[in-house]
Structure 1
Amino acid sequence: MRFVLRKLGFYAVALWAALTLNFAIPRLMPGNPVDILLARLQQRGGQVTAETRTAYALLLGGDSDQPILEQYVQYLGNLLRGDLGVSVSYFPARVSDVILQSLPWTIVLVGLATVITAILGVLLGAFVGWKPGTWLDSLVPATTLMASMPYFWLALVLVYFLARNLGWFPMQGGFDVTLQPGWNADFIGSAIQHGFLPALTIVLASIGGWLLGMRNMMVSTLSEDYVLTAEAKGLSPTKILRSYAARNAVLPSVAGFAISLGFVVSGSVITEQVFSYPGIGSRLLMAVSNNDFALMQGMFLFITLSVLAANLVVDLLYGLIDPRTRARS
């Protein structure tokens, strides 16, 4: 119980620090969201007065001319009420609505791609590490080569060959705009077809790290005494691989997988931008381009919560798996 309470206390402090940074970083950037909205209003022929500026400032959750401490207290109060403010980029939509509209796209795309990548990488790494020095080791340079490529370059290559030349998949978008979004076969099929290339980009660019990490852990595990003892007992190679070597070598990958799931919410900004995919990444880029403080803070909040939650789960699981971590805490 003391171990759990210590972890909860640590992550509570980490959450407070993250929320404070979430508040401070956007305000250190040049520009003012109220001025951006007023400039757009002027471009459309609207009249800008002092009353207009005050109204827009209140609509966005407070004027940036307020003392910074008052803004901070107001920011924390709004978070406790679940009020993330109004988005400048998608005005007059609320930040929570913008996030909830784009979040499912990123979770499905990046989440499934992460799960598939982790499973394939760990399985391939286990087999490659089980037989080091064989032809299977040739998989490692090939996958690490793809991992070293920039995301956008790999995405553009896939678009050029699979979408433009062969015409197998759409070049951009999350679904066919002529279809009505909903739980029907046509829309789901269109979403799967549009999401295949972005998902393939993430898998090809990420699988090398999982494979190499699992392969190296397998090579190290095979020299452990308990593996040699299992071989001396005459156990079958399959049982040694499954119950002794892979079971212990996969522990770091489990931690990495949990942390990767935490970063699913942030999405893959470059991949979504290349494919014009309607996920969190493209919304975040739009928020940064427009100095949309409220939307940036809302997205950073979701990303922070997901990463902290994933790390907390990993710490608690390690405490259950390895009692020595509880003794050292």
Structure 2
Amino acid sequence: MRAFRRRIFFYLVTAWAAISLNFLIPRLMPGDPATALINKFQGKLSAEAVAALRQLFGSDNRTLWEQYVDYWGRVLTGDFGISYAYYPSPVRDVLDQSIWWTLALVTVCTVISFVIGTGLGMYVGWRRGSWTDSVVPITNFLSSIPYFWFATIMVYVFGILLHWFPISGGYAVGTTIGFNWPFISSAIEHAILPALTIVIASVGGWLLGMRNMMVTTMGEDYVRLAKAKGLSKSRVMYSYAARNAVLPSFSSFAMALGFVVGGSIVTEIVFNYPGVGSVLFKAAQAQDYPLMQGLFLIITLVVLVANLAADTVYVFLDPRTREA
């Protein structure tokens, strides 16, 4: 319990620091939302309209400390204000409309790539020195390709040349959003291509990490003892080698799940997918401070919760950490 209390205190301090930085960083950026919005109209606004926009979206006249106190009050009540980029929609409504698209796509892709990558890495590490090692450079090559370029190639080949999948959007135009088969089937069809891009680009990292840990673990004394006792190869591989080799990958997997809310920004932009990544990109362009703060806050809290859960589960998986 003492170690658990220390972890809780550490994560609370980290959350305070992250939320405070979330307040400061947008205010340190040059410019303001009113100027960005006025520039979009390219001088077509009257002087009265410009003055009204500056009054509505201009800089806050309160002191930084007053803004900070008010910001904490809004954070605790879940009120992130009105979005400038999606005016007059509240930030909460914008997040509700986009976050589920990212959770459905990136969470599933993260789990699939982790399972495939660690499974292949376990087998390749167990059969090290055989033909299976040829899988490593192939997956590393795919992972090393710049993400935006790989996504563009996927769009060109499977969307434009072969016409197998849609190349843009989250569902077909005219489809009614809801729990009905036309919408669900359309959403799945539109998600296949970005999902393949994320999975293929992510598998190599999981495979290489698990393979290297398997090779290291197989040299440990307890694995040699298990082999000397005459245990079956499958039991040695799963119960002795893989069980310990997967621990670092499990910690990385928890981190990856934490960043799911952040989405795969480049993928969502290339495929024009209606997720958090596209919203964050548009918010940054419009200098939409409330929306950026809401997004960063959710991402930060999810990452912290995922790490806390990983630390807690790690204690049960590895008894050596219970002494800390």
TM-score interval, normalised by the smaller of the two chains: over 0.9
Give the whole-Å Cα distance in 1 for the aligned partners of 2:53 and 2:277. Answer: 32
Moved more, 275-284 or 66-75: 66-75
Q: Deviation of residue 35 (structure 1)? A: 4.1
Aligned to 1:16: 16
1:295 is aligned to 2:291: yes
Q: Which amino acid aligns with 2:272?
A: S
Give the whole-Å Cα distance in 1 for the aligned partners of 2:241 and 2:210. Answer: 11
Give the whole-Å Cα distance in 1 for the aligned partners of 2:262 and 2:226. Answer: 43
Aligned to 2:310: 314
Distance change >3 Å, CA 18–CA 238, structure 1 → 2: same
Question: Contact 1:130–1:219 at 8 Å: present in 2 too?
Answer: yes
Question: Contact 2:126–2:215 at 8 Å: present in 1 too?
Answer: yes
1:260 is aligned to 2:256: yes
Q: Which amino acid aligns with 2:212?
A: N
Q: Deviation of residue 37 (structure 1)? A: 4.7
Aligned to 2:150: 154
1:70 is aligned to 2:71: no
**Deviations along 1:176-215, whole A, 9 cap, x unmatched?**
0121111111111111110111010001111000000000
Q: Deviation of residue 326 (structure 1)? A: 3.9
Give the whole-Å Cα distance in 2 for the aligned partners of 1:200 and 1:190. Answer: 16
**Deviations along 1:37-66, whole A, 9 cap, x unmatched?**
566688465833867644x25xx9xx5232
Aligned to 2:121: 125
Give the whole-Å Cα distance in 2 for the aligned partners of 1:237 and 1:2. Answer: 40
Q: 1:284 aligns with which of 266, 272, 280?
A: 280
Give the whole-Å Cα distance in 1 for the aligned partners of 2:267 and 2:53. Answer: 39
Question: Contact 2:109–2:195 at 8 Å: present in 1 too?
Answer: yes
Q: Deviation of residue 314 (structure 1)? A: 1.3
Question: Contact 1:147–1:209 at 8 Å: present in 2 too?
Answer: yes
Give the whole-Å Cα distance in 1 for the aligned partners of 2:143 and 2:150. Answer: 10
Question: Contact 2:37–2:286 at 8 Å: present in 1 too?
Answer: no
Aligned to 1:188: 184
Q: Deviation of residue 253 (structure 1)? A: 1.1
Residues 66-105 of structure 1 mapped to structure 2, 5 A cutoff: 66-105=62-101
Residue correspondences, number? 323
Identical pairs, percent: 52
Q: Deviation of residue 23 (structure 1)? A: 0.4
Question: Contact 1:32–1:64 at 8 Å: present in 2 too?
Answer: no
Normalised TM-score (structure 2): 0.95
Normalised TM-score (structure 1): 0.94
Q: 1:273 aligns with which of 249, 256, 269?
A: 269
Aligned to 1:237: 233
Q: Which amino acid aligns with 1:108?
A: A
Aligned to 2:218: 222
Runs of 5+ unmatched residues, structure 1: none
Distance change >3 Å, CA 148–CA 50, structure 1 → 2: closer
Give the whole-Å Cα distance in 1 for the aligned partners of 2:53 and 2:275. Answer: 33
Give the whole-Å Cα distance in 2 for the aligned partners of 1:38 and 1:47. Answer: 12
Aligned to 1:48: 49
Distance change >3 Å, CA 306–CA 134, structure 1 → 2: same
Q: Which amino acid aligns with 1:30?
A: P
1:29 is aligned to 2:29: yes
Give the whole-Å Cα distance in 2 for the aligned partners of 1:52 and 1:132. Answer: 65
Give the whole-Å Cα distance in 2 for the aligned partners of 1:321 and 1:245. Answer: 14
Runs of 5+ unmatched residues, structure 2: none
Question: Contact 1:38–1:48 at 8 Å: present in 2 too?
Answer: no
